[in-house]
Amino acid sequence: MASAAATFDAVKTNLDRAGQGHLLAFYARLSGAEQAALLAQCAALDLAGLSGLIEKYVKAKPAAEVAGAIEPVHAYGLDGTVNGKSYDRAGYLAKGEALIRSGKAACFTVAGGQGSRLGYDGPKGCYPGGAVSGKPLFACIADWILAVQQRYGSRIYGGGGLVIPWYIMTSPQNHEATVAFFRQHRFFGLAEADVMFFPQGVMPSMELGTGRILLSSPGEIGLNPDGHGGSLKALWSSGAIADMERRGVEEICYTQIDNPLVRAIDPLFLGLHRFAPDSSGEMSSKMVRKAHAAEKVGVLCKVGGKTAVVEYSDMPETLSKKTNADGQLTFDAGSIAVHVISVAFVRKLNAGAGGFSLPYHRAEKKVAHADFVTGQPVSPEKPNAIKLETFVFDALPLCEGGRSIVLETDRVDEFAPIKNAEGADSPATCRQIQTRRASNWLAKAGLGGVVPMSAGGEPDCVLELPPTTALYPEDLRGLSVAKIAAGEKRVL
């Protein structure tokens, strides 16, 4: 075994060559265990790969790479048509329900993000998501799973028995806190054996402009999670795919943690993903119509004939603003980061010849770190670092023949993300959308009269409608709901 001094020399030489020698600047100050840990961290860096990434993304701002002509997608519409022709919504729904009943669907939530915009201290899934109950975002998804298990399990097994396993991607930074939170809350009523956690990969955070890797403390490299695109590798390397295959799971219902209204398991979406004639059955996406041309959401389109997401910042303004003869935006398919991904697709990506890689995206962020000279903590007031992340939607063009379907959904029904502390996509707008949805569903079920409305036509109350009460508006029919008082907060 090499002596500690020899290991130090070898690591230092490699770091110096790559211009990262500063990572060992405080080595002499560290305890023996800290020194060993830092050397191991440094030795694990892919310095050659990082040098290329630093030149491309940190020292420069690469122009958007949109690989081909951009055309609109033909989404499966809420109106029951696709590209002007009707499709059999009820038939696809029934097919998706059959997949769920036969245990072929799993829930997958990416929860490894840092939630820096929200500024919440802890895993974002622990943040209150229920508009009235304040139940955590994790519980919102757990309730969805429980409701689906109950609805589709009881019919064939005569009282439960259906298991929808839940896979949760954490990050090395929030893994332990996430697992502890689930233990503390007794897995929100789910069976512990059917909830699996695995941490995603990481990338070093780098100083803006120079590409020097940051130290989070004198003895530790500053790492950030490698983006939700990292899920496609982590699902494989963690053994989650092997676990799914053992269980007979074939379809992964992918959701983010920050949207308490997400239809975590959607039979219609599953049915279309698996059986629509223009689907490769590998990866599919949901969209909502963009609220306006400048809305900051990625747009599902065809790029060079393949389904893809173009980020709002990469979309040429002329296309963002382009309208059809009826005045509707031509590129209106806003991505809501909800996908169905087949287990076979993740296997193919990881185990197929040549492997796969997703492009990196650069984000300028404020990253606290140890001062390069003194080692003292620095909390920057403006962005000081580049984080490199991959995005899951960049796997869409890797589907067979670029064939990947898109399903339109209603924004108020399924999309109330919590991203920011205030303003758009904040806890306040999330509560408002939850209330609006509950009010809409009550109205559709013939119970609209119980909701107090303000002069502006908005519900004058706060409502929360858990999936265990209703998965669809029809489930509310015949329910007895007492009149809601103005200003009241009610869980239905």
How many residues bind to ligand UTP according to rule CB under 6 A? 22
Work out which of 110, 234, 265, 471 binds ligand UTP, going by CB under 6 A: 110
CB of 459 to ligand UTP, least distance (A): 27
- Four-point Cα dihedral 384, 421, 299, 306, nearest 10: 70
At 230, the amino acid letter reads G
Angstrom distance (rounded) from CA 98 to CA 364: 45
d(CA 162, CA 154): 8
Minimum CB distance to ligand UTP smaller for 232 or for 272:
232
Per-residue x/- mask for ligand UTP, residues 367 to 396, rule CB under 6 A? ----------------------x-------
Stretch that binds ligand UTP, among 56-64, 81-89, 109-117, 367-375 (CB under 6 A): 109-117
Contacts of 51 (CB under 8 A, 6+ apart): 18, 19
CA-only gyration radius of the chain, Å: 24
* Piece of 50-58, 254-262, 283-291, 453-461 that binds ligand UTP (CB under 6 A): 254-262
Minimum separation from the CB atom of position 118 to ligand UTP (A): 6
Contact positions with ligand UTP (CB under 6 A) in 173-212: 200
The two tokens of residue 191 are 């069976």
Contact status: 227 vs ligand UTP (CB under 6 A): yes
Give the binding range for ligand UTP (CB under 6 A) out of 5-13, 37-45, 251-259, 324-332. Answer: 251-259
| Helix spans in 173-262 (H) | 175-184, 231-237, 240-247
Tokens of 447: 């119970």
Of 158, 61, 45, the residue nearest 101 (C-alpha) = 158
From 1-9, 111-119, 242-250, 408-416, give the range in contact with ligand UTP by CB under 6 A.
Answer: 111-119
Residue 234 in contact with ligand UTP, rule: CB under 6 A: no
User: 419, 431, 437, 490: which one contacts ligand UTP (CB under 6 A)?
Assistant: 419
CB under 6 A: which stretch of 56-64, 85-93, 95-103, 227-235 binds ligand UTP?
Answer: 227-235
Q: Of 95, 104, 124, 403, which lies in the binding site for ligand UTP, with binding defined by CB under 6 A?
A: 124
Is 225 a binding residue for ligand UTP by CB under 6 A? The answer is yes
> What whole-number distance in Å separates Cα of residue 224 and Cα of residue 409?
32
The C-alpha atoms of residue 70 and residue 316 are separated, in whole angstroms, by 10
The answer to whether 373 and 195 have CB atoms below 8 angstroms apart is: no
Sheet of strand 206-207: strand arrangement: 206-207, 385-389, 361-365
Output the smallest distance, CB 346 to ligand UTP, in A. 15
DSSP 8-state code for residue 459: B
Stretch that binds ligand UTP, among 85-93, 112-120, 377-385, 406-414 (CB under 6 A): 112-120
Contacting positions for ligand UTP (CB under 6 A): 110-118, 124, 169, 200, 225-228, 230, 256-258, 389, 419
